[in-house]
């Protein structure tokens, strides 16, 4: 029982960052319909930027997180502007091939820049974990969860409550009508891609100090993000948030009770099962965005 | 291109080991040939049915593991029952690897009926990753990350002829060349048959093709089975040639290599994967003097993006267009209506069954 409680605690902590990854990708894959293989690389990029700002430059930990997120947003906007804008309206395979190319380039650039040795980012939070009854949680992970939840709430408000969010939803529902209504459609595309990328970078910046930072950390992150998006239903932000927690739970249970070697297999098994039996995602009737 | 060109190319490549004695170059050519074979199989799905299988390395790896395990023999306990397999002749292992990969192709093909486009891509990636994790974690069977060493090389022959074991590079070169030629003939027969025309019709306009009676599942499954089996064959050849395999064989980058070969050479053309395979098989020979593997991958990535932007059809169709431009009398009417050609394709595909 105590073990199960600890698994639940771990689930909630990991679920927060998975939700960030998933929400970022649901904006890009679910709403913009771009099969974005660079999502995991933006996650790795966020982690490396966190390493750069916090460890190399020596910035304040929390300021460094903000800078890493901003860097991820800029890189995402650059990607959309340079690679996707010229091919807008092309079929899904074309953009997919472009994104695979971009993914290889980004991963190997990271390898060249930072080397293959894993980097660790020291955190300023106390080392001794917080112990509540049978559960122990490190302060760092708790902080990661809090920031992740704040970012999720912020994303939700931007998409649903602001004029910008309304413009985004309008653009991806019917871009020509949106353009006729005076929305700068090009800017919205770039901004949305940047927004999704910023969330991926945020997940990387938050998990970088928890784990270590390596050039290949993005590979699994991309695929896990796809699992979360499919689980939650394409373009469904609430679905992606819940999907993040479900994937984290599946991984915890899988690692704890089946075999830790199969932890990473859970996401793929979820993808295959959901697509076979409920391709619209688990929350198809829930509120849809886009 | 000229009808005799494939034959000329075959004769040329058959003559290569006669003057090329350098073991490193021969080795490069053998590996290039194996990946060419894998790319040819991917081309059937990607180029002719239009389904991008990004888990193609799964078929390759399954072929390699099945062939390696059956020729090494193994002991494994499944659900409390002990299964022991004595070492088989490598050639039978190769065929069994092909059959297993083809069976997996059947399952993936059935799946393709339910999910298309981006979903199909993600399902195939997931499939490959699950297989990779099984190969990594089922240590009793696959030795996990410690790899399977000492895979015997292929032996040819029968009881009454005596056996020849293929240790050398040149022997393996010829085996790979023969399989490439066979696969090329198979693909040519297939895509020029009514079956192939039905596949192309599905790629061009699925709704229209279905409306005239082309069965989606039937042709997608057929393409996936053939494609999986040929990729499994390539994997088996790889295992017996390199003689050691580990779960890294399921690396996503291997699929990416096949995709780049097909896209660069020209998807949906018979010669495309051959040309692309030669380019990317030989590129490391020239590049390794100047740049490390990371830069090489960056260059591949840039090339992939450039191809999509500049030559979306790939190199081979571009060369064909150039040839046809020189002979204007043989130029096809480029302004053929898509709909009517799809109808014609679909009708000829349907007429034969």
Residue ranges and CATH numbers for the domains of chain A are: 2-277 (1.10.3470)
Q: Rounded to a whole number, what is the distance in Å from the CA of B16 to chain A's nearest CA?
A: 33
Alpha-helical runs (H) found in B212-271: 216-242, 252-265
Q: Does B8 fall in a domain?
A: no
Structural domain contains residue B6: no
pLDDT tens per residue, range A157-211: 998 899 998 998 888 888 888 888 888 889 999 999 999 999 999 999 999 888 8
- Report yes or no on B244 lying in a domain: yes
DSSP A6-61: HHHHHHHHHHHHHHHHHHHHIIIIIIS----TTHHHHHHHHHHHHIIIIIIS---H
Q: Which of B119, B130, B308 sits opposite A279 (nearest CB)?
A: B119
- Spatial separation of the C-alpha atoms in residues A90 and A23, rounded to whole Å: 24
What does the pLDDT read at residue A151? 93
* Span A74-88, average pLDDT: 92
Tally the domains of chain B: 1
Query: Hey, is the C-beta of B291 within 8 angstroms of any chain A C-beta?
Result: no
Would the CB atoms of A101 and B121 count as touching at under 8 Å?
no
Q: Which helix (H) or strand (E) holds B85?
A: strand B81-85
Q: What is the pLDDT of residues B278-319, one digit of tens each?
A: 998 888 888 888 888 889 899 999 999 999 999 888 888 888
Q: Which chain B residue lies closest to A91 (C-alpha atoms)?
A: B117
| pLDDT at residue B159, as a whole number | 64
Does some domain include residue B4? no
Residues near B15 by beta carbon (within 8 Å), at least 6 away in sequence? none
Q: Is residue B230 part of a domain?
A: yes
Residue A196 to residues A38, A73, A228, A274, Cα–Cα distance (Å): 11, 8, 14, 23
For an interface test with B, give the residue of A102, A109, A115, A268 to mutate (most B CBs within 10 A): A268
Tens place of pLDDT per residue across chain B (353 aa): 567 788 888 888 888 888 888 888 889 999 999 999 999 999 999 889 888 888 899 999 999 999 999 988 888 877 777 778 778 888 888 999 999 999 999 988 887 667 777 788 888 888 898 899 899 888 888 888 888 888 888 877 666 666 677 778 888 889 899 999 999 999 999 988 888 888 888 888 888 888 888 888 888 899 999 999 999 999 999 999 998 999 989 988 889 899 999 999 998 899 999 999 999 888 888 888 888 888 989 999 999 999 999 988 888 888 888 887 766 554 444 444 455 666 666 666 655 54
Lowest mean pLDDT among A24-28, A114-118, B326-330: B326-330
In Å, how far from its chain's centre is CA B188? 14
Does A102 score more than 90 pLDDT?
yes
Mean pLDDT of chain A: 87
Instruction: Fill in the DSSP letter of residue A236.
Output: -
Query: B98 is in which domain, residue-wise?
Result: 22-350
Radius of gyration of chain A (CA): 19
The confidence score (pLDDT) of residue B97 equals 93
Instruction: Report if residue B184 sits inside a domain.
Output: yes
Alpha-carbon span A107 to B72, nearest angstrom: 37
Q: Which of B347, B271, B346 is nearest to B314 (CA)?
A: B271
Q: Is the dihedral of CA A99, A103, A104, A106 positive or negative?
A: positive
pLDDT at position B96: 92
Residue B16 lies in a domain: no
Q: Is B326 on the interface with A (CB under 8 A)?
A: no
Collapsing DSSP to helix, strand or coil, B77 comes out as strand
pLDDT tens-digit map of A202-242: 999 999 888 889 988 888 888 889 889 888 888 888 889 99
Which residue from A83, A267, A279 is facing B305, i.e. has the nearest CB? A83
Kindly state whether residue B76 falls inside one of the protein's structural domains: yes
Q: Do the chains contact at A268 and B121, CB–CB below 8 Å?
A: no
């Amino acid at each position: 029982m105590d073990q199960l409680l600890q698994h639940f605690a771990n689930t909630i902590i990991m679920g927060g960052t998975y939700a960030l990854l998933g929400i970022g990708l649901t904006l890009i894959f679910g709403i913009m319909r771009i099969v974005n293989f660079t999502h995991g690389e933006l996650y790795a990029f966020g982690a490396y930027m966190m390493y750069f700002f916090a460890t190399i430059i020596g910035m304040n930990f929390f300021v460094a997180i903000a800078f890493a997120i901003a860097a991820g947003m800029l890189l995402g906007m650059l990607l959309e502007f340079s690679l996707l804008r010229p091919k807008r309206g092309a079929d899904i395979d074309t953009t997919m091939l472009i994104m695979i190319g971009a993914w290889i380039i980004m991963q190997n650039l990271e390898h060249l820049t930072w080397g293959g040795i894993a980097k660790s980012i020291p955190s300023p939070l106390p080392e001794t974990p917080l112990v509540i009854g049978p559960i122990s949680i490190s302060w760092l992970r708790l902080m990661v969860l809090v920031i992740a939840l704040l970012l999720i709430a912020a994303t939700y408000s931007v998409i649903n409550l602001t004029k910008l969010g309304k413009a985004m939803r309008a653009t991806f529902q019917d871009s020509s009508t949106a353009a006729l209504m005076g929305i700068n459609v090009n800017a919205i595309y770039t901004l949305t891609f940047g927004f999704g990328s910023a969330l991926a970078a945020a997940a990387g910046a938050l998990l970088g100090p928890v784990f270590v930072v390596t050039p290949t950390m993005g590979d699994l992150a991309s695929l896990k993000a796809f699992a979360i998006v499919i689980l939650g239903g394409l373009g469904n932000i609430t679905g992606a948030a819940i999907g993040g927690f479900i994937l984290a739970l599946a991984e915890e249970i899988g690692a704890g009770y089946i075999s830790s070697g199969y932890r990473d297999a859970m996401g793929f098994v979820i993808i295959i099962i959901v697509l076979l039996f409920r391709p619209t995602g688990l929350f198809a009737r829930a509120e849809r965005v886009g | 291109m000229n009808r005799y060109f494939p034959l000329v190319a075959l004769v040329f490549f058959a003559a290569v080991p006669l003057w090329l004695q350098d073991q490193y170059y021969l080795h490069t050519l053998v590996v290039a040939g194996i990946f060419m074979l894998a790319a040819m199989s991917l081309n059937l799905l990607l180029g002719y049915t239009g389904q991008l299988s990004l888990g193609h390395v799964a078929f390759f790896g399954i072929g390699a593991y099945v062939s390696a395990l059956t020729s090494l023999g193994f002991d494994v306990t499944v659900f409390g029952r002990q299964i022991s397999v004595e070492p088989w002749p490598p050639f039978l292992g190769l065929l069994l690897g092909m059959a297993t990969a083809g069976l997996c192709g059947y399952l993936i093909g059935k799946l393709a009926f339910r999910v298309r486009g981006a979903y199909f891509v993600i399902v195939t990636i997931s499939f490959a990753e699950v297989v990779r994790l099984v190969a990594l974690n089922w240590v009793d069977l696959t030795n996990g990350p410690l790899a399977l060493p000492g895979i015997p090389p292929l032996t040819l022959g029968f009881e009454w002829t005596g056996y020849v074991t293929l240790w050398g590079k040149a022997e393996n070169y010829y085996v790979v060349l023969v399989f490439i030629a066979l696969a090329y003939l198979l693909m040519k027969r297939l895509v020029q048959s009514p079956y192939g025309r039905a596949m192309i019709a599905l790629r061009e306009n699925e709704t229209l093709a279905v409306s005239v009676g082309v069965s989606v599942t039937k042709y997608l499954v057929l393409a996936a089975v053939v494609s999986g089996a040929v990729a499994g064959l390539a994997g088996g050849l790889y295992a017996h040639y390199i003689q050691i395999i580990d779960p890294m064989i399921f690396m996503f980058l291997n699929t990416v290599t096949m995709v780049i070969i097909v896209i660069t050479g020209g998807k949906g053309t018979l010669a495309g994967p051959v040309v692309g395979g030669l380019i990317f098989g030989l590129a490391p020979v020239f590049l390794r003097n100047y740049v490390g593997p990371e830069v090489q991958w960056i260059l591949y990535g840039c090339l992939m993006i450039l191809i999509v932007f500049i030559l979306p059809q790939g190199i081979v169709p571009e060369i064909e267009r150039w040839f046809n431009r020189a002979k204007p009398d043989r130029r096809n009417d480029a302004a053929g209506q898509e709909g009517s050609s799809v109808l014609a394709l679909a009708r000829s595909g349907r007429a034969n069954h």
